[in-house]
Structure 1
Protein backbone atom coordinates (compact mmCIF):
# COMPACT_ATOMS: atom_id res chain seq x y z
CA UNK A 1 0.00 0.00 0.00
CA UNK A 2 1.16 3.52 -0.77
CA UNK A 3 0.28 6.52 1.38
CA UNK A 4 0.71 9.86 -0.39
CA UNK A 5 0.76 13.17 1.49
CA UNK A 6 1.39 16.82 0.65
CA UNK A 7 3.21 19.04 3.16
CA UNK A 8 4.45 22.59 3.30
CA UNK A 9 8.21 22.60 3.67
CA UNK A 10 8.34 23.10 7.44
CA UNK A 11 9.38 21.55 10.73
CA UNK A 12 6.19 19.45 10.68
CA UNK A 13 7.52 17.57 7.66
CA UNK A 14 10.74 16.71 9.51
CA UNK A 15 8.72 15.66 12.55
CA UNK A 16 6.52 13.38 10.45
CA UNK A 17 9.54 11.76 8.82
CA UNK A 18 11.23 11.06 12.16
CA UNK A 19 8.00 9.65 13.66
CA UNK A 20 7.51 7.39 10.66
CA UNK A 21 11.03 6.02 11.06
CA UNK A 22 10.50 5.52 14.82
CA UNK A 23 7.33 3.54 14.08
CA UNK A 24 9.13 1.04 11.88
CA UNK A 25 8.85 2.55 8.40
CA UNK A 26 12.23 2.08 6.77
CA UNK A 27 13.71 5.24 5.24
CA UNK A 28 14.06 3.35 1.94
CA UNK A 29 10.25 3.09 1.85
CA UNK A 30 9.81 6.87 2.04
CA UNK A 31 10.13 9.11 -0.99
CA UNK A 32 10.05 12.90 -0.55
CA UNK A 33 9.70 15.06 -3.66
CA UNK A 34 9.94 18.86 -3.28
CA UNK A 35 7.84 20.84 -5.76
CA UNK A 36 9.22 24.08 -7.11
CA UNK A 37 7.31 27.30 -7.68
CA UNK A 38 6.67 28.53 -11.19
CA UNK A 39 9.42 30.89 -12.35
CA UNK A 40 7.81 32.52 -15.38
CA UNK A 41 5.21 35.23 -14.96
CA UNK A 42 1.70 34.92 -16.29
CA UNK A 43 0.86 36.73 -19.50
CA UNK A 44 -1.40 39.75 -19.37
CA UNK A 45 -3.46 38.69 -22.38
CA UNK A 46 -4.69 35.19 -23.23
CA UNK A 47 -4.22 33.62 -26.64
CA UNK A 48 -6.17 30.92 -28.42
CA UNK A 49 -3.54 28.35 -27.32
CA UNK A 50 -2.97 29.50 -23.73
CA UNK A 51 -5.37 30.68 -21.05
CA UNK A 52 -4.56 31.05 -17.36
CA UNK A 53 -8.14 31.76 -16.27
CA UNK A 54 -7.51 35.42 -15.53
CA UNK A 55 -9.63 37.87 -17.49
CA UNK A 56 -8.59 41.50 -17.79
CA UNK A 57 -11.61 42.36 -19.93
CA UNK A 58 -14.55 41.72 -17.56
CA UNK A 59 -14.25 44.62 -15.13
CA UNK A 60 -13.30 47.00 -17.94
CA UNK A 61 -16.39 46.03 -19.95
CA UNK A 62 -18.68 46.43 -16.94
CA UNK A 63 -17.28 49.84 -16.02
CA UNK A 64 -17.33 50.93 -19.67
CA UNK A 65 -21.03 50.09 -19.89
CA UNK A 66 -21.87 51.85 -16.63
CA UNK A 67 -19.91 55.00 -17.42
CA UNK A 68 -21.20 55.07 -21.02
CA UNK A 69 -24.78 55.13 -19.73
CA UNK A 70 -23.96 57.83 -17.20
CA UNK A 71 -22.02 59.84 -19.79
CA UNK A 72 -24.85 59.59 -22.34
CA UNK A 73 -27.42 60.63 -19.73
CA UNK A 74 -25.44 63.63 -18.62
CA UNK A 75 -24.47 64.38 -22.23
CA UNK A 76 -27.97 65.65 -23.01
CA UNK A 77 -27.21 68.69 -20.88
CA UNK A 78 -23.60 69.21 -22.01
CA UNK A 79 -22.28 70.89 -25.14
CA UNK A 80 -20.90 67.89 -27.06
CA UNK A 81 -24.04 65.79 -26.74
CA UNK A 82 -24.85 62.31 -25.48
CA UNK A 83 -22.93 60.29 -28.11
CA UNK A 84 -19.54 61.92 -27.50
CA UNK A 85 -19.98 61.85 -23.71
CA UNK A 86 -21.12 58.22 -23.88
CA UNK A 87 -17.97 57.30 -25.80
CA UNK A 88 -15.81 59.28 -23.36
CA UNK A 89 -17.50 57.45 -20.45
CA UNK A 90 -16.97 54.07 -22.12
CA UNK A 91 -13.27 54.75 -22.77
CA UNK A 92 -12.77 56.04 -19.25
CA UNK A 93 -14.59 53.08 -17.67
CA UNK A 94 -12.68 50.51 -19.71
CA UNK A 95 -9.35 52.14 -18.87
CA UNK A 96 -10.12 52.27 -15.15
CA UNK A 97 -11.28 48.62 -15.16
CA UNK A 98 -8.20 47.49 -17.06
CA UNK A 99 -5.86 49.30 -14.64
CA UNK A 100 -7.64 47.81 -11.62
CA UNK A 101 -7.45 44.29 -13.10
CA UNK A 102 -3.75 44.64 -13.94
CA UNK A 103 -2.94 45.85 -10.42
CA UNK A 104 -4.97 43.06 -8.80
CA UNK A 105 -3.37 40.41 -11.04
CA UNK A 106 0.13 41.58 -10.17
CA UNK A 107 -0.77 41.64 -6.47
CA UNK A 108 -2.01 38.02 -6.70
CA UNK A 109 1.18 36.95 -8.51
CA UNK A 110 3.38 38.48 -5.81
CA UNK A 111 1.33 36.76 -3.10
CA UNK A 112 1.56 33.42 -4.89
CA UNK A 113 5.35 33.66 -5.20
CA UNK A 114 5.73 34.02 -1.42
CA UNK A 115 4.19 30.58 -0.77
CA UNK A 116 6.45 27.94 0.68
CA UNK A 117 7.50 25.04 -1.46
CA UNK A 118 5.31 21.99 -1.10
CA UNK A 119 6.73 18.51 -0.59
CA UNK A 120 5.02 15.30 -1.66
CA UNK A 121 5.66 12.23 0.51
CA UNK A 122 5.13 8.75 -0.89
CA UNK A 123 5.30 6.05 1.77
CA UNK A 124 5.29 2.34 1.01
CA UNK A 125 3.79 0.49 3.99
CA UNK A 126 1.95 -2.70 4.90
CA UNK A 127 -1.84 -2.77 5.28
CA UNK A 128 -1.64 -3.12 9.07
CA UNK A 129 0.49 0.06 9.28
CA UNK A 130 -2.05 2.16 7.38
CA UNK A 131 -3.84 3.72 10.33
CA UNK A 132 -0.60 4.54 12.16
CA UNK A 133 0.96 6.19 9.12
CA UNK A 134 -2.20 8.14 8.33
CA UNK A 135 -2.48 9.34 11.94
CA UNK A 136 1.16 10.51 11.94
CA UNK A 137 0.65 12.40 8.69
CA UNK A 138 -2.51 14.18 9.83
CA UNK A 139 -1.07 15.04 13.27
CA UNK A 140 1.92 16.72 11.60
CA UNK A 141 -0.10 19.19 9.52
CA UNK A 142 -0.33 17.30 6.23
CA UNK A 143 -2.22 19.37 3.66
CA UNK A 144 -3.67 16.30 1.93
CA UNK A 145 -3.40 12.53 2.39
CA UNK A 146 -4.26 9.81 -0.10
CA UNK A 147 -4.11 6.01 -0.22
CA UNK A 148 -3.27 3.71 -3.09
CA UNK A 149 -3.85 -0.02 -2.69
CA UNK A 150 -1.58 -2.06 -4.91
Structure 2
Protein backbone atom coordinates (compact mmCIF):
# COMPACT_ATOMS: atom_id res chain seq x y z
CA UNK A 1 0.00 0.00 0.00
CA UNK A 2 1.31 3.49 -0.79
CA UNK A 3 2.52 5.65 2.06
CA UNK A 4 -0.34 8.08 2.61
CA UNK A 5 0.49 10.37 5.50
CA UNK A 6 0.46 13.90 6.75
CA UNK A 7 3.92 15.49 6.62
CA UNK A 8 5.09 18.91 7.81
CA UNK A 9 6.11 19.64 4.20
CA UNK A 10 2.63 18.85 2.87
CA UNK A 11 0.99 21.05 5.51
CA UNK A 12 3.47 23.89 4.81
CA UNK A 13 2.58 23.75 1.10
CA UNK A 14 -1.13 24.41 1.73
CA UNK A 15 -2.68 27.72 0.78
CA UNK A 16 -4.22 29.69 3.65
CA UNK A 17 -7.70 28.50 2.60
CA UNK A 18 -6.60 24.86 2.32
CA UNK A 19 -4.99 25.12 5.77
CA UNK A 20 -8.09 26.73 7.33
CA UNK A 21 -10.36 24.03 5.92
CA UNK A 22 -8.23 20.90 6.43
CA UNK A 23 -6.34 21.73 9.61
CA UNK A 24 -8.81 24.00 11.42
CA UNK A 25 -12.05 22.25 10.33
CA UNK A 26 -13.15 25.27 8.33
CA UNK A 27 -15.71 25.45 5.54
CA UNK A 28 -15.30 27.25 2.24
CA UNK A 29 -18.11 29.58 1.22
CA UNK A 30 -20.78 27.75 -0.81
CA UNK A 31 -20.39 28.05 -4.56
CA UNK A 32 -16.75 29.15 -4.38
CA UNK A 33 -14.81 25.86 -4.52
CA UNK A 34 -12.58 25.29 -7.53
CA UNK A 35 -13.82 21.69 -7.97
CA UNK A 36 -17.55 22.33 -7.57
CA UNK A 37 -18.30 22.30 -11.30
CA UNK A 38 -15.54 19.91 -12.38
CA UNK A 39 -17.03 17.27 -14.67
CA UNK A 40 -13.78 15.66 -15.84
CA UNK A 41 -13.18 11.92 -15.24
CA UNK A 42 -10.75 11.08 -12.45
CA UNK A 43 -10.41 10.82 -8.70
CA UNK A 44 -10.28 13.25 -5.83
CA UNK A 45 -7.49 12.73 -3.30
CA UNK A 46 -6.64 14.31 0.05
CA UNK A 47 -4.70 17.55 -0.54
CA UNK A 48 -2.42 16.69 2.40
CA UNK A 49 -1.80 12.92 2.22
CA UNK A 50 -2.75 12.02 -1.35
CA UNK A 51 -4.99 9.18 -0.20
CA UNK A 52 -7.80 8.42 -2.70
CA UNK A 53 -11.16 9.64 -1.43
CA UNK A 54 -13.81 9.99 -4.15
CA UNK A 55 -14.33 9.08 -7.82
CA UNK A 56 -15.81 11.35 -10.47
CA UNK A 57 -18.33 8.60 -11.26
CA UNK A 58 -19.78 9.08 -7.74
CA UNK A 59 -19.99 12.90 -8.01
CA UNK A 60 -23.42 14.46 -8.50
CA UNK A 61 -25.01 17.89 -8.63
CA UNK A 62 -26.74 18.39 -5.29
CA UNK A 63 -27.28 22.14 -5.48
CA UNK A 64 -25.76 22.62 -2.01
CA UNK A 65 -22.78 24.69 -3.17
CA UNK A 66 -20.05 22.11 -2.50
CA UNK A 67 -18.85 19.08 -4.45
CA UNK A 68 -21.10 16.15 -3.54
CA UNK A 69 -20.43 12.44 -3.80
CA UNK A 70 -22.57 9.36 -3.14
CA UNK A 71 -19.76 7.30 -1.54
CA UNK A 72 -16.03 7.20 -0.90
CA UNK A 73 -13.80 5.45 -3.45
CA UNK A 74 -12.00 3.72 -0.56
CA UNK A 75 -14.27 3.61 2.53
CA UNK A 76 -11.33 2.78 4.82
CA UNK A 77 -9.79 6.19 3.96
CA UNK A 78 -12.79 8.16 5.22
CA UNK A 79 -13.59 8.49 8.91
CA UNK A 80 -16.98 9.68 10.11
CA UNK A 81 -17.16 11.49 13.46
CA UNK A 82 -20.00 13.08 15.41
CA UNK A 83 -19.83 16.88 15.13
CA UNK A 84 -21.89 19.03 17.49
CA UNK A 85 -20.36 22.39 16.54
CA UNK A 86 -22.44 25.42 15.50
CA UNK A 87 -25.47 24.20 17.47
CA UNK A 88 -26.08 21.25 15.14
CA UNK A 89 -25.47 17.52 15.22
CA UNK A 90 -23.80 16.38 12.02
CA UNK A 91 -21.41 13.69 10.85
CA UNK A 92 -17.98 15.12 10.03
CA UNK A 93 -15.90 13.43 7.33
CA UNK A 94 -12.10 13.31 7.77
CA UNK A 95 -9.37 11.54 5.85
CA UNK A 96 -7.84 8.63 7.75
CA UNK A 97 -4.15 9.18 7.04
CA UNK A 98 -4.07 12.94 6.44
CA UNK A 99 -6.51 13.68 9.28
CA UNK A 100 -7.86 16.45 7.05
CA UNK A 101 -11.31 17.88 7.60
CA UNK A 102 -13.14 17.14 4.35
CA UNK A 103 -16.74 18.14 5.06
CA UNK A 104 -19.86 16.33 6.25
CA UNK A 105 -22.10 13.45 5.18
CA UNK A 106 -25.89 13.78 5.08
CA UNK A 107 -28.70 11.24 4.48
CA UNK A 108 -30.27 13.25 1.64
CA UNK A 109 -28.39 11.95 -1.39
CA UNK A 110 -29.82 10.11 -4.39
CA UNK A 111 -31.85 7.20 -3.04
CA UNK A 112 -31.04 5.01 -6.04
CA UNK A 113 -27.32 5.40 -5.24
CA UNK A 114 -27.41 4.71 -1.49
CA UNK A 115 -29.07 7.85 -0.15
CA UNK A 116 -25.93 9.60 1.12
CA UNK A 117 -24.47 13.00 0.20
CA UNK A 118 -20.82 13.49 1.04
CA UNK A 119 -20.63 17.29 1.00
CA UNK A 120 -16.91 18.01 0.57
CA UNK A 121 -14.82 21.20 0.50
CA UNK A 122 -12.84 21.68 -2.72
CA UNK A 123 -10.01 23.09 -0.59
CA UNK A 124 -9.45 19.65 0.97
CA UNK A 125 -9.13 17.89 -2.38
CA UNK A 126 -6.72 17.53 -5.28
CA UNK A 127 -8.18 16.26 -8.54
CA UNK A 128 -6.25 13.66 -10.53
CA UNK A 129 -7.51 13.38 -14.11
CA UNK A 130 -8.09 9.89 -15.48
CA UNK A 131 -5.23 10.45 -17.99
CA UNK A 132 -2.79 11.02 -15.10
CA UNK A 133 -3.99 8.37 -12.64
CA UNK A 134 -1.60 5.61 -13.71
CA UNK A 135 1.42 7.95 -13.75
CA UNK A 136 0.57 9.31 -10.30
CA UNK A 137 0.14 5.84 -8.73
CA UNK A 138 -3.64 5.60 -8.78
CA UNK A 139 -4.00 3.03 -11.57
CA UNK A 140 -5.75 0.58 -9.25
CA UNK A 141 -8.76 2.94 -9.21
CA UNK A 142 -9.18 3.32 -12.98
CA UNK A 143 -12.04 0.79 -12.97
CA UNK A 144 -14.01 3.11 -10.67
CA UNK A 145 -13.79 6.08 -13.06
CA UNK A 146 -16.01 6.47 -16.11
CA UNK A 147 -14.46 6.23 -19.54
CA UNK A 148 -13.45 9.43 -21.26
CA UNK A 149 -16.19 10.49 -23.62
**TM-score scaled by structure 2?**
0.25
**TM-score scaled by structure 1?**
0.25
Instruction: Judging by fraction of residues, say which structure has more strand.
Output: 2
Higher relative contact order (CA 8 A, sep 6+): 1
Instruction: Judging by fraction of residues, say which structure has more helix.
Output: 1
